[in-house]
Structure 1
């Protein structure tokens, strides 16, 4: 069964730029996005915005054995293994990016109370970048500061690919944010940004993917146990426990 993973690692600048220019290949690696981190909500033009030594890597594998071999045997895999990563079971997809369009719209019922990981991948229309920044930065802060996220970040690969990654205590909390069900003035921000995207798209391609976290490995900026109720270094339960509402 295919497996996805999301990795964070701090690396020397030379290694970071090299990985951006020449993404790795390996047996069983079906797709990989290599990006550099961005600090959510930071000013667009500031040293704190772009984190060039912070790699964010999203990958799809034929199976867990392929990921294990990559982390143990490939130089870039060993670099990533020194950081943090979460292994993911695919659940749902909205929108489409060509390299991920083979994923089904959904895989079945899910429990709205279980933790979830959300990943977005977008290929930007460069003329729309000012609009995207204007509407996107308030949503960045909304997600970053949400009480039900345990980690939220963005990443990019010059000059068109943008990715977001967020860990939520429950699918219910995530969809509450998406559909503006939260309390407070910030609740409307995501809805308004999506309405603006529908009016005139920021992207050539865009997809949002939802995953069940299976296991978490390593530490990131001194933190571990980032994923609620996930197995830290071992598989968590993969059982569907009820319908998603």
Structure 2
């Protein structure tokens, strides 16, 4: 099945802009998405909406050796190695993005009480962007402020690519949010937005993926403990 990883790193604007424009290649690197960070729920017109110096990367590797080599030897990889990343085992996906269509619908069973990482990846229909923002920003705040997320953020690469990333204390908590289980109207934001997407899709392509966190490396925003302890080797 290979290995996936998600990275966060601060870079000078020039290096970050170059990474967004130029596609990196390396032995064992199967797929790479380089994006600028976004704060979930930020106003549409805001410096927080696209944070060019905060680079987010989602990648697929043939194996862990390929990732280790990239981080040690590739110029962009060394930039990423100075930040934070989590290594991931793929569990399942819904929807499809062509670049990741080879991933099976389900690769391993999810244990509901174990921590999970959720990654969404979408290619937008640009005329639908106002609708997407109207329905999506409340969901962004719902995920960002959920008591069972330890890290939640968004990322984008103009003009069409947008992604979200979140670490959850348990799969049970994440699925509860997805299906609107909870008290008050805010609990239904995600399910209502998904119903609106079904009515008229915001995206040309869209997938949401679930992963089991394997290990956490580095520091982000002064922390190195985003992955719940139960997911760490030897815990």
TM-score by length of 2: 0.98
- For residue 27 of structure 2, what is the aligned residue in structure 1? 27
Matched, 1:193 2:193: yes
Query: In the TM superposition, what is the alpha-carbon distance from 1:108 to its structure 2 partner?
Result: 2.9
Q: Cα distance, 1:46 vs. partner?
A: 1.2
Please list every run of 5 or more consecutive structure 1 residues that lacks an aligned counterpart in the other structure: 238-245
Distance change >3 Å, CA 171–CA 236, structure 1 → 2: farther
User: 1:106-156 deviations in whole A, cap 9, x for unaligned?
Assistant: 013221000000000000000000000000000000000000000000000
What does 1:108-123 align with in structure 2 at a 5 Å threshold? Answer: 108-123=108-123
Residue 165 of structure 1, CA deviation: 0.1
Alignment of 1:71-86 (within 5 A): 71-86=71-86
**Aligned partners of 2:116 and 2:123: how far apart in 1?**
24
CA RMSD of aligned residues (A): 1.0
SS at 1:225's partner residue? Answer: coil
Q: Is residue 167 from structure 1 mapped to residue 167 from structure 2 by the alignment?
A: yes
Query: Which 10-residue stretch deviates more, 210-219 or 108-117?
Result: 108-117
2: CA distance, partners of 1:58 / 1:23: 13
SS of the residue corresponding to residue 177 of structure 1 reads: helix
Query: Which residue is 2:148 aligned to?
Result: 148
**Contact 1:214 1:236 (8 Å CA) reproduced:** no
Give the 5 Å matches for 1:229-244. Answer: 229=229, 230-231=231-232, 235=233
Partner of 2:94 in structure 1?
94
Structure 2 regions of 5+ residues with no counterpart?
none
How many pairs were matched up?
234
Once residues 87 and 195 of structure 1 are traced to their aligned partners in structure 2, the CA distance between those partners, rounded to angstroms, is 32
